Amino acid sequence: MLGGFFFKKEQGGNKVKHLLNMKNLQINDIEMILERAYEFQNGAVSDLNNPTTVANLFFEPSTRTKMSFEMAERKLGLHVLPFDASASSTIKGETLYDTVKTLEAIGVDAVVIRHEQDGYYEELMSGIDLAIINGGDGSGQHPTQSLLDLYTIKEEFGRFENLHITMVGDISHSRVAKSNAEALTRLGANVTFLCPSRWQGDFESLSSWEAVLPNSDVVMLLRVQHERHESELSFSKQQYHEEFGLTRERYDQLKQSAIIMHPAPFNRDVEIASELVESEKSRIFRQMHNGVYVRMAVLESVLKERN
Amino acid sequence: MLGGFFFKKEQGGNKVKHLLNMKNLQINDIEMILERAYEFQNGAVSDLNNPTTVANLFFEPSTRTKMSFEMAERKLGLHVLPFDASASSTIKGETLYDTVKTLEAIGVDAVVIRHEQDGYYEELMSGIDLAIINGGDGSGQHPTQSLLDLYTIKEEFGRFENLHITMVGDISHSRVAKSNAEALTRLGANVTFLCPSRWQGDFESLSSWEAVLPNSDVVMLLRVQHERHESELSFSKQQYHEEFGLTRERYDQLKQSAIIMHPAPFNRDVEIASELVESEKSRIFRQMHNGVYVRMAVLESVLKERN
Amino acid sequence: MLGGFFFKKEQGGNKVKHLLNMKNLQINDIEMILERAYEFQNGAVSDLNNPTTVANLFFEPSTRTKMSFEMAERKLGLHVLPFDASASSTIKGETLYDTVKTLEAIGVDAVVIRHEQDGYYEELMSGIDLAIINGGDGSGQHPTQSLLDLYTIKEEFGRFENLHITMVGDISHSRVAKSNAEALTRLGANVTFLCPSRWQGDFESLSSWEAVLPNSDVVMLLRVQHERHESELSFSKQQYHEEFGLTRERYDQLKQSAIIMHPAPFNRDVEIASELVESEKSRIFRQMHNGVYVRMAVLESVLKERN
C-alpha cells in the first residue's frame, strides 16, 4: 500500500524520497515546504551544490504545471532534459517503468511525471532509484497544486484553523479537491462542498450558495473538465454558470476579506464570470506565481537527499 | 488603435515595451536596432544583468524564426522556458490572454509569439505586463524578419536611399512584403512589385521582369505560401517558376552589384532556380545569419526596460 | 562514395569531421573514443573552450538516444537548441539540406540527426560546414549505439579478441547488428547469428540456441521492430519468444561470465523474459549509462576540430 507525501525506502543504502500524494503527509512536512517556499520567494538560494539533472515527463497536456516546474528548476540552477512524450519510445510500446529506468541509467536525478493513469507511480516504487514528483495522476492527486493552494491561503490569512473553505464544482473528478479537502481538514479548516449531485463522489455533505456566501473565507472553484466527461454533461456551460458559477451577484455577497481560488485553466463564464478572473478578491494568478516557489521547495527537498 | 514598432504604455508605473509591427516604427528606432545588431555581430555582450526568462510561443510551425530566437536568447544568456503549443492548455480551450498571463504570473519576462491570427496581440495590450515580441501574425506582420532584411541590405550597400528594391511574388499574403515595403519606402528606397495580378492586394503598380532586371539593386523573392491557399492556385509550380521565378536567364541580366533575398523557407525551382540558392548574389543564408544578431538587439531592447 | 567513421573534407580551409557510420572506422579511432569515454566516466572535463551550440534533429521517435545525447551535451557544457521535427519547416516541404544549412547559418556547430531514410547524410556531404553525428539512419547504421556496445563489452572483458558474440534476432532490419557485427569482427571477436531465416539478410551463417549457449561471452539481443514490418510478421510475439527469445531456461545455460545486451527499447517477454531484464548478467541499463560517456567523447571529438 502506497501513501505518504514523502515516501521513503531503503534501497542499496540510499534513501529515496518522492512526492506522490497528500494522503499521509505529515503536518510537519507541509509546514517545512511552505516555509522553504516562503524563503525562496524572499530570495533564498538553493542548498543544492552538485550538478543535478531533472526531466519533466508530461504525458498529458499542461501549460502551467509544466512551465511552473521548468521555471522552478531553472531558478534552482538544475539541468533540465527536454522530454517529448509524443515522440518518445512509449509509442513503441515501452512501459513507464522502462522509460523512467532509462532516464535513471542516463543519469537523471529526479523526474516530474504527469500521467493519465491514477496511481501510475505504484509500478515505479520498486527498482527505481531516482526521485519522483507527482505532477498529477489521472483523477487522483496533484500534490504540488495542493501545496501551492495551501501556501496561497497561508499567505493570505496566516493560518488554516477555523477558516471556512468552500469548494465548488466537479469534486469527484478533481485531483485538487481530493488532495486539498483532506489536507485542509487536517490543518484545522472547515471544508464545505457545493456541487451538482452527480459529481458528488464520496463526499457526504452538500451545501448551497446561499448558505456558504456569507461565511466563506476561501471559495475554491474547481475546473469543469470538459475533456474528461464531455458526453455525460447534461447541462450547458451557461446552465452550469447559473447554478454553480461565481457570478457578480454571488461575488458581491462574499465577505470583505474572502478570496477566490481556481487551479486553472479556468473556463471563463463557466466556473467564474470572465470579469471576475482578475478581480480584487481573485488569487488565481497569485496561485500560479506562488507555485514556482512551492515547487522549488519540493524539488530541493527530494533532491537534497541525493546531493 | 494599435500600432507602432515599440508600443509603450504606462501600467502601475512600468513602461512595457513590445515589438509588434513595423507600421509606426520611427527611423531612429530602426537605426538603433540595426546598430546594436552590428555591435553584437562584432562581439558585444548583453547589457542585461539580472536573470531574465523568456518563452517562445510558436502556434505555427517554424524552423528558422524559432531557432534564430532560441540562439539569440542563449547568446544573451537568458533562461528559455520550453513551450509546446501542441501540448499546452490552449487545447483545453484556454485563451491566448490567459496563457500569456499565466506565463507572466510564473515569472516570464518576455514572450515571442507566432500565431495564425492577424493582430493576435491586440487582446494582450491591456492587462499584460510582460514584453511581447511578434514573431509573425497570420498574414499580418513579421517585424524581426523585416529588420533582418533591412540589416542585410544596409550591410551590403551601407544605405537605403535611392536603392531599387524589387519584390517578387505573393505580395498580398506576405507578412514580409507588407512590413518591408513600407519601411523601405520610408527609409528612402524605391520599391517595385512584380506579382501575379490576383495576388496584388492593395499594391498599386506592377512591373515586369524586363523592366526591373537591369535596375534592381535588391531582388526580394517572396514565398509561395502553398499551405495558405493551395486550392486557389490556378497555375502549377512550374508555371509560377517560368513567369515569376528567378531563373538563370534572369539572374544573368542582373547588375553586378545586385543581391537576391528570400525570407525562406524557399521552394526550390519555384521562386528560385535550385542552382541559384547559394549563388554569388544570393544573401538567403546570410539573412538567416544576420537574423540572430537583429533578434539579440530586439530582445535586449525590450528587456532592458525591465531589467 | 561515402564511408568512414570520421569523414573529413577540406572546404574553405576547414576540416569538417562527422560521425556517419562504422564502416571504415579505423581501429585507432574506436580506441580513442572508448578511451576518452572512460576518462569522462571517471570525471574528466571537456576540452572545449569556446561557446558551442548543438541541435538534435530527431525525425523519428526516440527516448534513450535523444535523452542520452541531451545529457552528454549538458555534461560538456554545450548550448542545446531545441528542435521539434513535427513543428519544423520540413512540413512546409523544406529539404533536409536546407534545414541543416539554416541551422548552420544561425550558428549551430553540430547536429545529431536521426532520420528514417538510409544514408540521409549523403545529401549533406557537399555544402554543409557544421559537424554531423548520425543518430540512426533508417535501417542503416547507428554508430554511437555501436560504440556504446563496444564500450560495454570492453568494460566487462577488457578486450575483444576471441570473444564469442552471439547476435539474436532481426538482423536484416537492425542498424545495430550491421554496425556491430562488422566492427566486432575487425576487433577480433567471433560473431555468430541466430535469427529467423526470413530476417537473415546478407548474413551467411545461422546457428541455434543449443550451439551458442555454452560458448557465448556476449548475447546481443536485437529488437523486434514491430513498427517497421508489423504486417510481414507471420508469428506471434509468444512464438518469437519461444523460438528466439532469451528465456529463463536459456539464461541458466549461459556461462557464469556471460553478459546479455540489448539496444532497447526491448519488448518484455518477446526478445527477453521480463524477469531477466535486470538480472545479474544483464547489462541493458548499463549500456544506457555508458552511452552518455561515449557520446560525450564523440561530440568532443567532432567539435574539437572547430573549437
Residue type, B227: E
Which of A54-58, C56-60, C228-232, C236-240 shows the lowest mean pLDDT across its residues?
C228-232
Which residues of B are less than 8 Å from A229 in CB distance? Answer: none
Strands (DSSP E) contained in chain B are 6-11, 14-19, 53-58, 79-81, 110-115, 131-137, 164-168, 190-194, 218-221, 259-261
pLDDT tens-place values along chain B, 307 residues long: 233 334 344 444 345 589 998 886 789 999 999 999 999 999 999 999 889 999 999 998 888 999 999 999 999 999 999 998 887 777 667 899 999 999 999 999 999 999 999 999 999 999 999 999 999 998 778 999 999 999 999 999 999 999 999 999 877 777 668 778 889 999 999 999 898 776 666 666 678 899 999 999 999 999 887 655 555 556 788 989 999 999 999 999 999 999 999 999 999 999 999 999 999 999 999 999 999 999 999 999 999 987 7
- The average pLDDT across C150-155 equals 98
Check if C6-141+289-304 and C143-286 are the same fold. Answer: yes
Nearest-CA neighbor of B283 among B146, B143, B153?
B153
Q: Is residue A222 within 8 Å of A244, Cβ to Cβ?
A: no
Identify the CATH class of C6-141+289-304. alpha beta
Question: Mean pLDDT score of chain A, rounded to an integer?
Answer: 88
Q: Is C82 on the interface with A (CB under 8 A)?
A: yes
Which residues of B are less than 8 Å from C105 in CB distance? Answer: 285-286, 288-289
CATH 3.40.50.1370 for domain B143-287, yes or no, is yes
Query: Over the stretch A262-275, which tens digit does the pLDDT of each residue have?
Result: 999 999 999 999 99
- The average pLDDT across A11-31 equals 76
Which pLDDT score, from 0 to 100, does residue C80 have? 97
Which pLDDT score, from 0 to 100, does residue A10 have? 40
Answer whether A94 sits within 8 Å of C68, measured CB to CB.
no
Q: Is residue A218 within 8 Å of A149, Cβ to Cβ?
A: no
Distance CA A263, CA A56 (A): 20
Q: Is A87 on the interface with C (CB under 8 A)?
A: yes
Which of A285-289, C212-216, C302-306 shows the lowest mean pLDDT across its residues?
C302-306
Distance CA B165, CA B154 (A): 12
- The average pLDDT across C268-287 equals 97
Within 235-254 of C, beta carbons closer than 8 Å to A belong to none
Q: Residue holding cell 485542509? A: A184
- Helix B143-157 vs helix B64-75: angle between axes, to the nearest 10 degrees? 80
Shortest Cα distance from B279 to chain A (angstroms)? 37
Of A174 and C267, the one with more pLDDT: C267
Query: Over the stretch B215-256, which tens digit does the pLDDT of each residue have?
Result: 999 999 998 876 555 555 567 889 899 999 999 999 999 999
Shortest Cα distance from A293 to chain C (angstroms)? 25
Q: How many pairs of residues across A and B have Cβ atoms under 8 Å apart?
A: 74
Distance CA A221, CA A215 (A): 16
Distance CA A292, CA A285 (A): 12
Other beta carbons less than 10 A from residue A105's beta carbon: 23
Answer whether A61 sits within 8 Å of B91, measured CB to CB.
yes
Distance CA C299, CA A20 (A): 37
Helical spans, DSSP H, in B48-189: 64-75, 96-106, 143-157, 175-186
Which pLDDT score, from 0 to 100, does residue B229 have? 53
Q: Is A94 on the interface with C (CB under 8 A)?
A: yes
**Segments making up each domain of chain B, as ranges:** 6-141+289-304, 143-287
Which pLDDT score, from 0 to 100, does residue B203 have? 61
C-alpha cell at B230: 493551395
Architecture (CATH level 2) of domain A143-285: 3-Layer(aba) Sandwich (3.40)
DSSP category for residue C112: E
Answer whether A62 sits within 8 Å of B88, measured CB to CB.
yes
Q: Determine whether A114 is an active site residue.
A: yes
Q: Is B145 on the interface with C (CB under 8 A)?
A: no
Reduced to 3 states (helix: H, G, I; strand: E, B; else coil), residue C174 is coil
Strands C259-261 and C218-221: parallel
**Nearest residue of B to residue C78, measured between CA atoms:** B74
Whether cis (ω within 30° of 0) applies to the bond prior to A265 is yes
Nearest-CA neighbor of C105 among B68, B272, B77?
B68
- The average pLDDT across C231-251 equals 86
What is C143-286's CATH topology? Answer: Rossmann fold (3.40.50)
Helical spans, DSSP H, in B95-236: 96-106, 143-157, 175-186, 209-212, 226-229
Strands (DSSP E) contained in A230-297 are 259-261
Mark C227-237 as b/e (b = at least 16 C-beta within 10 Å): eeeeeeeeeeb
Q: How many pairs of residues across A and C have Cβ atoms under 8 Å apart?
A: 73
DSSP string, C192-206: EEE--GGG-TT----
**Nearest by CB: A89 against C70, C265, C286:** C265
Ramachandran angles phi, psi of C180, nearest 5°: -75, -40
Which pLDDT score, from 0 to 100, does residue C85 have? 85
- Confidence grade of residue C203 (pLDDT, cut at 50, 70, 90): low
Distance CA C35, CA C150 (A): 11
Give the catalytic positions of B in this structure: 64-65, 92, 114, 142
